[in-house]
Structure 1
Amino acid sequence: MFYERERSSKKKEELISIIVGLMDEEGLKNVTIKDICKATNISIGAFYHYFQSKDSIVDEMFILMDEFFLVSQEAILQHPTTTEQIIDFVNHFGIYVERWGYYANLLIMRSHITKYSHNKKRRLYGILEEIILKGINDKEFKVKVDAEELIVMIFVIMRGYLLEWVNREHDYPVRDNMVKQATYLLKSLTI
């Protein structure tokens, strides 16, 4: 069962990478399902096996991101301090969005982002919350920190730099800037 889900996720990721390659600055609007099937070498029925609709491609991108963080969680938590774990979390977020590329992130930013970007049930949020709560319990912050507020700040940094990337276009060091800004924030909060 796990193997089948993992194989399906990998296939979705491959399909999305090809689909992203079809997109231009207009996003998916000018790409038809027939175009997608031709480029990915799948049937229309297979397309609907992986996606409910063309619009659901973005939903699947968020799901794949959460799966990426589930796989990366152990590596992130290996760091000895909360600061290092949060910075690696931000770094992994940057790795993920850079891997998708500019047009995929443009699509995400133009889509119904609020459905997923503010969903506290996502594993992505749970990992960051776990890190921050442990840091609070271990008294690693020199000021009183509200976990929920810090989570929001970290995500604002990451989404803000995604937006900056979209505004500046292709050759913007999005991950480096996310990590740098998160480091500045955390240095002001930790011992």
Structure 2
Amino acid sequence: MSEKYSNKKKELISIAGKLFVEKGYEETSVDDILKASGISKGGFYHYFKSKEDVLTDSIKNIIEELLEKLEPIVIDKQLNALEKLRVFMEKKSEFQNSNREYAKYLSMLLKSDFTLYKYYIIVAQKFVVPFGRIIEQGVKENIFDVKFPYETADILLRTVVSLPQSVYYHEYTHDQTKHSNYKISINEVLIRALGLDDMVKIL
């Protein structure tokens, strides 16, 4: 792939991403993207097969931006696995809460079952390896009691990222008591799945 091709594709993804946030994914048409980018329909299909392809690449870009910030934690040789897991979760939350563009984008994704499903799939695909590496390290350090680190990472990720699908999502995010109860419950799921002592706190 040439640098020119790659740069143009990134430009189109950026333009489409802004339109998705402004208008919503369902309401944004390929023609809207063509108009905003000045590219021809033939030019668009040179880079993407469909609007869905643009959405997929757009989600991948924002997830990869987050993973770039988390990778130094995964490879830090000074931290044990439990410390890494805590910092990993903390930094992930900080990024999501402080990055306005990410927040706007996630808000857009929540408005459609289809876009939310795409987001879940990509998060699970992108996060399972770094999360699995932390769990694998914990097994080697005799901190975690897990037979299959990457499979466990996959299951736990799907549990955590599927929060917006809960019928109690609004309560968990807006009611302080409910939010606290949710964090405690997730912590319990994590420590038991990883074979940790009940008194350990991850979140």
Range of TM-score over shorter length: 0.5 to 0.7
- The Cα shift of 1:158 comes to 1.5
1:37 paired residue number: 34
Match of 2:121 among 99, 107, 117: 117
Aligned to 2:51, what secondary structure does the other structure show? coil
Kindly state the Cα deviation for residue 134 of structure 1 after the two structures are TM-superposed.
Answer: 0.8
Label 1:80 to 1:131 Cα distance change in 2 as closer, same or farther (>3 A): same
Q: 1:128 to 1:6 in 2, by over 3 A?
A: farther
User: Is the radius of gyration larger for structure 1 or structure 2?
Assistant: 2
8 Å contact kept, 1:69–1:123: no
| 1:54 aligned residue | 51
Query: Distance in 1 between the 2:23 and 2:133 partners?
Result: 36
Alpha-carbon distance between aligned partners in 2 of 1:12 and 1:134, rounded to the nearest angstrom = 39
AA in 1 matched with 2:138: G
Aligned length: 179
Residues 15-49 of structure 1, C-alpha deviation per residue, up to 9 Å, x if partnerless? 2431223434xx42x332222333x3332345334
CA contact (8 A) 1:87 1:182 kept: no
Q: Say if 1:187 and 1:115 are closer, same or farther in 2 by CA, change over 3 A.
A: closer
- Give the conservation status (yes or no) of the 8 Å contact 2:17–2:58: no
Contact 1:51 1:57 in 2 (8 A): yes
2:165 maps to 1:163: yes
The correspondence for 1:106, drawn from 106, 111, 121, is 111
2:19 aligned partner: 19
TM-score of the superposed pair, with normalisation by structure 2: 0.62
Instruction: Kindly report the root-mean-square deviation, in angstroms, between the aligned alpha carbons of the 2 structures.
Output: 4.2
Whether the 8 Å CA contact 1:106–1:166 is kept in 2: the answer is no
TM-score normalized with structure 1 length:
0.65
Instruction: Please state how far the C-alpha of 1:119 moved relative to its aligned partner.
Output: 9.4
Structure 1: tracts of 5 or more residues without a match: none
Q: Secondary structure at the match of 1:31?
A: coil
Give the secondary structure class of the aligned counterpart of 1:55.
helix
Structure 1 residue 145: Cα displacement: 5.4
Cα distance in 1 for residues equivalent to 2:2 and 2:84 = 27
CA distance in 2, matches of 1:156, 1:13: 29
Match of 2:131 in 1: 128
Greater relative contact order (Cα 8 A, min sep 6): structure 1 or 2? Answer: 1
SS of the equivalent of 2:49 reads: coil
